[in-house]
């Protein structure tokens, strides 16, 4: 493994420059490259995980499933903002449906649920590491990602559509991704506290 060839400054820059993305280039004009997507998944599965439980599952959503999930997404969004069966609801629903369908690629991340609560907690941490690995690999390839914990991951209809059992697999995140503009990171400035503010050197 020639990992030492990665330059410290480049790695830090990659980590610091990554931003959550909400806007993607049109997938018809700039389709996602399968090899690049596979690189992201490869990075994800090499995340640390205690006792090698490898608790993650990635559901790469195809067009038919996306249509069904779009309905779940749209219903959640519209019913949060309005009464169902009203004109208002229909308007919000349609807008949300289009928004979801415009996302170039949706990937749902599931955590295989261990019986033991400590293992479950550690497995969630491992899944989060996997998602960050995914995001960084995506960013390096000019693919933007939004990591979402929005209502669709808790909706029973999503589980039905994926044919998974909530008692066995918990959906812990939805990844919305697509190719992005070169300067996309400038539009979403994200701040962090300084290292000094959050680090305590104790003796
Ligand atoms: C566990 C977790 C859940 C998140 N859920 C959402 C979400 O539901 N919607 C969203 O827009 N961003 C979500 N994010 C992304 C954060 O909002 C984002 O990382 C934060 O605003 C910092 O911005 P940055 O990623 O550009 O640095 C989530 C991030 C994490 C780690």
* Residues forming a β-bridge with 110: 57, 171
Give the model's pLDDT for residue 184: 66
pLDDT of residue 75: 97
Q: What is the CATH number of domain 20-198?
A: 3.40.109.10
Q: How many CB atoms lie within 10 A of CB 87?
A: 9
Residue 165 near residue 86, CB atoms below 8 Å:
no
Which of ligand 1's atoms lies nearest the C-alpha of 22?
Answer: 11
Q: Taking residues 118-133, report their average pLDDT.
A: 98
- Distances in Å between the Cα of 151 and the Cα atoms of 11, 22, 126, 130, 170 are 33, 17, 22, 21, 13
- Domain ranges (residues) in the chain: 20-198
Is any ligand 1 atom within 6 A of the Cβ of residue 146?
Answer: yes
Number of alpha carbons in the 13 Å side-chain half-sphere of residue 139: 24
pLDDT, position 126: 99
- State which of 14, 15, 20 you would mutate to test the pocket of ligand 1, scoring each by most atoms of that ligand within 8 A of its C-beta: 20
pLDDT at 187: 66
For residue 4, what pLDDT band results from cuts at 50, 70 and 90?
Answer: confident
pLDDT in tens, 172-194: 999 999 999 876 666 677 899 99
As a dihedral over the C-alpha atoms of residue 98, residue 102, residue 105, residue 111, rounded to 10 degrees, the angle is -30
The model's pLDDT over 22-75, given as tens digits with 9 standing for 90+, comes to 999 999 999 999 999 999 999 999 999 999 999 999 999 999 999 999 999 999
């Amino acid at each position: 493994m020639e990992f030492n060839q990665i330059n410290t400054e480049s790695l830090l820059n990659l980590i610091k420059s990554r931003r959550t993305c909400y806007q993607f280039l049109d997938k018809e004009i700039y389709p996602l490259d399968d090899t690049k997507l596979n690189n992201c998944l490869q990075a994800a599965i090499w995340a640390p995980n205690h006792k090698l439980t490898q608790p993650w599952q990635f559901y790469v959503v195809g067009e038919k499933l996306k249509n069904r999930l779009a309905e779940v997404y749209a219903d959640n969004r519209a019913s949060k903002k309005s009464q169902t069966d009203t004109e208002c609801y229909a308007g919000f629903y349609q807008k949300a449906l289009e928004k979801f369908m415009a996302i170039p690629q949706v990937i749902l991340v599931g955590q295989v649920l261990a019986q033991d609560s400590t293992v479950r907690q550690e497995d969630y941490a491992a899944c989060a590491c996997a998602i960050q690995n995914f995001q960084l690999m995506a960013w390096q390839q000019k693919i933007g990602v939004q990591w979402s914990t929005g209502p669709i991951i808790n909706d029973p209809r999503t589980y039905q559509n994926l044919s998974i059992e909530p008692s066995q697999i918990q959906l812990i995140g939805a990844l919305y991704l697509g190719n992005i503009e070169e300067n996309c990171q400038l539009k979403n400035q994200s701040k962090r506290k300084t290292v000094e503010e959050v680090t305590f050197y104790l003796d």
